[in-house]
A and B are shown apart, each in its own frame.
Chain A
Amino acid sequence: GEDVEQSLFLSVREGDSSVINCTYTDSSSTYLYWYKQEPGAGLQLLTYIFSNMDMKQDQRLTVLLNKKDKHLSLRIADTQTGDSAIYFCADGPGNNRKLIWGLGTSLAVNP
């Protein structure tokens, strides 16, 4: 079945860049997503990328997609303490069909 894998933990210093990586197995993925969960809160969509794109940039966020290797990454520039959260990678075919999720990467930002 489809699978999404991510490393569980990442620790960075404030002001550095963070790179969270994700691999997926589904060849039919149309969209790939990054969600953020802060303590006690729901899942918040950060950004998504269409599978025919290689890169998407949105302010401090850069998403890179290597479709050949089925590898997705999220880069957060100038990481702040407020970026500390769990980041989930998810993939799906779009059209309102279900998402397949990774375990989440817990990002700790140290002052």
Chain B
Amino acid sequence: EAGVTQFPSHSVIEKGQTVTLRCDPISGHDNLYWYRRVMGKEIKFLLHFVKESKQDESGMPNNRFLAERTGGTYSTLKVQPAELEDSGVYFCASSPRLGGANVLTFGAGSRLTVL
């Protein structure tokens, strides 16, 4: 089966611009997660979708970040307007499980550089 796909792999934008990251989870995986790693810091949870619904968005930094998962398939994460501190690697992961251990399959990440 195809893995989790993220696009773009790397984006370089200027402060104040908008960027949209996309994640295509494994087909049939109801759970979709966004995590972020800022350089030198831990990987941090951003939010969790179950199908098209936001199950937990407690990790979203502020209202400049908007995540959607229309139709419960792919997801987008938009940052508008981008700030310097938004630079980092954004990971998407998906999981089919409804309980038990979180067996996540991650994408390769989208590296965002804000200048």
Contacts and interface: CB of A to CB of B under 8 A. Distances in A.
Given A42-B91, A43-B91, A98 B104 contact: no
Size class of B's contact patch? 20 to 34
Interface string A93-108: 0111111111100000
A50 B100 CA distance: 9
Contacts of B107: 42
Contact of B42 (A4, A44, A92, A95): A4
B45 A99 contact: yes
B106 interface: yes
A98 B101 contact: no
| Highest count of chain B CB atoms <10 Å: which of A33, A35, A45, A50 | A45
Contact of A96 (B35, B91, B98, B109): B98
Contacts of A50: 101
A99 B59 CA distance: 11
A101 B108 contact: no
Contacts of A96: 31, 48, 50, 55, 95, 97-99, 102
B102 A92 contact: yes
B93 A33 contact: no
A33 B91 contact: no
Interface of A: 4, 31, 33, 35, 40-45, 48, 50, 88, 90, 92, 94-103
23 contacts: A31-B102, A40-B108, A42-B3, A42-B106, A42-B108, A42-B109, A43-B93, A44-B106, A48-B101, A48-B103, A90-B43, A92-B102, A94-B99, A94-B100, A95-B99, A95-B100, A96-B55, A97-B102, A98-B58, A99-B35, A100-B42, A100-B45, A101-B43
